[in-house]
Structure 1
């Protein structure tokens, strides 16, 4: 990351996806009043659209389950449950993104990254460059697989509709052609308003994909960034300058910076720990549901969705584990400095910082234990158990 390299911030791709989805938490970097007004209107529309779409999914699911004349095809039910789970978690994240506390987290990342990029230390820059590449690769994977699900679903629906159309012509029947989503259409007849509903669903599909992708990407980006700021602090601890006249200032600034990072991680954890718990619990069910879909129907969309869930689960687990590792290294970095050559007042301050660094910074799954790669493996084990249970029930 040389001085002449054009640097792309870690939140760059995520920011533009969130802007497109209407949920970017910070003000837009523009003075154009018309553009700001249009974006505000669009953002408000998204805040209304999402709960309506989720409500429509839930109502239609209840209608399908309670309909005595419906065959309640397990494949359709599993697919419906998967949609409800996904959109429910998206709605929770959208609400969190509008909170002032979360805006503070994003602002901290933006400002802290500017300091990292201004650093002259190659070790700090090299580590952060790796984190940026990891974040970009993870976000692109989430984006591609999210839209892969949507495109494959659209193709599958088109082929299914064409097959039914051909059957109707050959047999003189009027079999109902399915729509991409099983929704409650609030009085609109699916047969009489097919074209209108297809257009509405196509527009909604793009918005939904942007919302799903951006809400997953923002948490991934925030978590991947944390080790960068911890690594920067480690290197500062190792290379702390004990210059006469600036001794208390240097050590005091590092102590303040250390506390600032601790507060940042704790605030991030407070905001997302229950969302992470929900994601891990629901990912187990989602993985099971899409596995059943593929085994019973062997379509392409479950493969894309399965890949999306796997990437999200393991990236979150690995990145959270990296936070724990890097924070544990802070105490060792301080101990490697020449603290033992300082006066008693400085020694006491540094030893206090060493003691404070003994407690690793972690992201937790709700009120439970720290999120690590082991947490991701538990999700896989749970999903396997759910698949076994579901297959036994519907054999």
Structure 2
């Protein structure tokens, strides 16, 4: 049975990064009109987002200091953390190192696509399918949460309209994102602010989804490279020709993988550190919403919790997989018939085994390696935050 050709692992990431205006390589077209229009759109998004984020942070600070509407404060905390994380990710993807990482992945993807080795293709296909499932889960939950935010906001506005009519009041109606509008009368400009708010939900949903999908695509990919290298190592004696030459090629491939994962870790280790710190706080804030919000308003908190839970364990599992697969290279080498070869080959194999004893890892900033245990630590940290928040809330 012929193995189907895997789709590029960055397919989802490229699509959503283009929609969000942050794809670092521009559009795959030569039409000048399309390129100019997209350039204007990307520039508007890049100007709009920091202004929006600053306004959101100011309003969050004001509501926190005043101690008013704690339910809304917890909701705003979730948005602030998610958008700060997304904004940092969007900036990161524009630097030269990350462009090199994406270029390497796309080039390697293309080579696997044209490979006639079914075992190599099947191994890569399994990894791309897993990545696709994770990306779809994040996409569906992100836009589900964005949609539910808007619907819940419209329901709250409807309830306030009904209350105002029955009690002859003029209570201010809420918005999905409570922003700081200096000197602007919110009641007078309510319709315009509502439109801006709904557009903001869509734009920010795109930005957050695209940065998360790109992030996870890049950390899932190294495991695929390591698994394929294991397959080649296990079969190196069957390759024919001069075994010394074949082994040298494998050594070069191993060195390429080491350089790639080292560069990837250097580019994203502080983003992982931020995920590690902020996800605990964000999960805690969402958990508080479960406890304090009305049952009719739980759709977006549930979806936000799903997003954070998925992100935390996909990050922990993927980083752990890189570590495990890099150590398994030594086992693959040891299982090969290296002891039957000449002294030159034996020395090369032993040197490669020694190098493979040092695991390749993604680190939490300048600290320890990210693993599944780190993901559990995030959940434990969330529990501690919930306890503190509940004490203050009560």
Q: TM-score, structure 1 length as denominator?
A: 0.94
Q: Where in structure 2 are the equivalents of 1:341-352 lying within 5 Å?
A: 341-352=340-351
Q: For structure 1, which runs of at least 5 residues remain unmatched after alignment?
A: none
Report what 2:38 is aligned to: 39
In structure 2, the partner of 1:53 is 52
1:341–1:386: structure 2 CA closer, same or farther, 3 Å change rule?
same
Cα deviations by residue, 1:35-93 (Å, 9 ceiling, x for unpaired): 222222222222212211110011112232344xxx51221111122211111111111
Partner residue of 1:314?
313
Describe how 1:7-86 pairs up with structure 2 within 5 A: 7-67=6-66, 72-86=68-82
Runs of 4+ in 1 over 6 A off after TM superposition: 242-245
CA spacing shift, 1:63–1:352, aligned 2, 3 Å: same
Matches of 1:90 and 1:245, distance apart in 2: 50
Q: Distance in 2 between matches of 1:326 and 1:259?
A: 15
Aligned 8 A contact 2:120 2:231 in 1:
yes
Shift of 1:241: 4.2
Q: Does 1:273 align with 2:272?
A: no
Deviation string 1:322-344 (CA, Å, 9 cap, x unpaired) is: 11111111111122223223322
CA RMSD of aligned residues (A): 1.8
Matched-pair contact (CA < 8 Å) for 2:261–2:360: yes
Q: Does 1:336 align with 2:335?
A: yes
Cα pair 1:176 1:191 within 8 Å, conserved: yes
| Number of residue pairs matched by the alignment | 391
- Deviation of 1:269 after TM superposition, in Å, equals 0.7
Name the CA distance, whole Å, in 2 between partners of 1:82 and 1:243.
54
Specify which of 216, 223, 226 is matched with residue 230 of structure 1. Answer: 226
Q: Is the 8 A contact 1:238 1:333 kept in 2?
A: yes
Instruction: Quote the offset at 1:141 in angstroms.
Output: 0.8
- What is the aligned partner in structure 1 of residue 124 from structure 2? 128
Partner Cα separation in structure 2 for residue 63 and residue 321 of structure 1: 41
Q: Is the 8 A contact 2:237 2:337 kept in 1?
A: no
Conservation of the 8 A alpha-carbon contact between 2:5 and 2:121: no
1:98 deviates by 0.2
Which residue among 111, 115, 130 is the counterpart of 1:115? 111
Q: Which runs of 5 or more structure 2 residues have no equivalent in the other structure?
A: none
2:2 maps to which residue? Answer: 2
Contact kept, 8 Å, 1:230 with 1:326, in 2: the verdict is yes
CA contact (8 A) 1:328 1:360 kept: yes
Q: Give the structure 2 partner of residue 90 of structure 1.
A: 86
